[in-house]
Amino acid sequence: SSDKPIRLFDLLLCLEDNIATIQEELGIVSYTNQEIAEEADKNVKVYLRKFEEFHGPLEDVP
């Protein structure tokens, strides 16, 4: 029927959530996710540095 793809998509989303929960409980970090997180951290630091160069510090430094 026409709603089969929607039900399949919903099932896949539920499975994805369950897998993520299990990985979190077991302390499993996917290498891909870790690499993405590290790259995002680097990018954020670069953007913040550029922002501060243009606008000044984000916080008052004592």
Percent of the chain with pLDDT over 90: 2
Reference 20, options 9, 11, 30, 31; nearest CA is 30
pLDDT at 62 over 60: no
pLDDT tens by residue, 11-59: 888 888 888 888 888 887 766 677 777 888 898 889 888 888 887 776 6
Domain boundaries, the chain: 4-55
Alpha carbon distances (Å) from 51 to 35, 37, 41, 62: 24, 21, 15, 20
User: What pLDDT band is residue 60 in, cutting at 50, 70 and 90?
Assistant: low
Tell me the C-alpha distance between 39 and 24, whole Å.
20
Which pLDDT value is given to residue 11? 83
